[in-house]
Structure 1
């Protein structure tokens, strides 16, 4: 499953789970749902269930086959902490990440409540980065839950950014990604929303990554923010002019 990824802040994707259900405003135009249903139509066996939650035991060992160290986005086509994913399967996914220490795994969820509930059963090795999606003011409560998760690196994905996010408490947060929505029906993003989050990150000394402006055809709009490409990561910063 996707040795290489077109997502700007990662290098590969690994999908031991596919499928999800909508839970908040950011889910409205879900790219993964569109893609999964398209793959079902063209007959890709792994997507025979379309966007219904499906576990794939046969790909659990994939990270061991990738010898070159990579940043790996876990479940780009799902949410590992979806209520329909068996707890024991989540533990097995973590076991793989715990053993494949040459990789960095980036786990992103909109369901941090479940992650916190079972956090004690999981081993949070240093190569696991854990994040939550914060697309609007209503989703800010996820940050408080994230701050209780015992991951070494905790991050926010403010994508699709749907409104300003003022007064972010970034204590214990190590990375912030911001991006506009892309694809059909993409909702607009305003530059001042992005600039404000950048200022908050700089004030609180948190690395900032601007992924894209988005739009129906995101490649046309790029990812320049006031003439710069912001590609900072936890532990080191990369800012290109």
Structure 2
């Protein structure tokens, strides 16, 4: 975890769990899987558990870290915190009591705003009523193509203060995307050696839907060989909008 992050839409990362398994096309070139392999080779203690080679990899086996639960309590300055940049809190192998413990830490540190992102929207929906939802928790789902739009419907059932979408890596058009009950949308292209291109028309269609619905829109990157290869401009400007409760600069 880090109290500084290079991710444009957050300020810090906190990983009470690490590791994951591929579940859909958006996972094919997972940056966290590649990073975990390097961290294991470097001897990083949190990345010594290997995952199933069919869906995961070296150092990327799902692991809970009870010792990491206190980290946000030690951060005195308020931060925007991305929870589990190296995992998925709603992975089937994360015990529900541990999820509750993570939620409790968030409730006990209201000075921070927490951003939780999952691809496991079905489990999220099924356990939502067994969790206490603090007002400083933003809940999001990742959607990479139209096949995964049901994740948005699952998210709408969750009583989070802010519900958001991470449409990254965007791999196809999301025509007909419904934004009822959604408070923020992030769009980004894929980066890395095997990155898949993103069409400008897909992005513009989502941006225009956000503008029509009054939903803040954040354009993270075009992607390419590196995250910064294609830049962040969309039709001559950057889009850094955040929900009203955000502490980063909105435009």
TM range (shorter): over 0.9
> Who is 1:78 aligned against?
87
- Where does structure 2 lack aligned partners over 5 or more consecutive residues? 50-58
> Who is 1:184 aligned against?
193
| 2:112 equivalent to 1:100 | no
| 2:148 equivalent to 1:148 | no
Instruction: Give 1:136-215 correspondences, 5 Å limit.
Output: 136-215=145-224
> Who is 1:35 aligned against?
35
Q: In the TM superposition, what is the alpha-carbon distance from 1:123 to its structure 2 partner?
A: 1.1
- Where does structure 1 lack aligned partners over 5 or more consecutive residues? none
For these two proteins, the number of residue pairs brought into alignment is 239
Question: 1:91 pairs with 100, 110, 115, which one?
Answer: 100
2:188–2:219 CA contact under 8 A, matched in 1: yes
> Who is 1:11 aligned against?
11
Q: In the TM superposition, what is the alpha-carbon distance from 1:213 to its structure 2 partner?
A: 0.5
Larger mean CA deviation between 38-47 and 175-184 belongs to: 38-47
2-structure distance, mates of 1:184, 1:18: 24
Larger mean CA deviation between 31-40 and 214-223 belongs to: 214-223
Q: In the TM superposition, what is the alpha-carbon distance from 1:184 to its structure 2 partner?
A: 1.9
| 2:250 equivalent to 1:238 | yes
TM-score normalised by length of structure 1: 0.97
> Who is 2:24 aligned against?
24
Q: In the TM superposition, what is the alpha-carbon distance from 1:117 to its structure 2 partner?
A: 1.2
| 2:60 equivalent to 1:51 | yes
Three-state SS of the structure 1 residue aligned to 2:149 is helix
Alignment deviations for residues 94-113 of structure 1 (CA, whole Å, 9 cap, x no partner): 00011110000000000111
2-structure distance, mates of 1:122, 1:93: 10
TM-score normalised by length of structure 2: 0.93
Larger mean CA deviation between 113-122 and 178-187 belongs to: 113-122
Three-state SS of the structure 1 residue aligned to 2:6 is coil
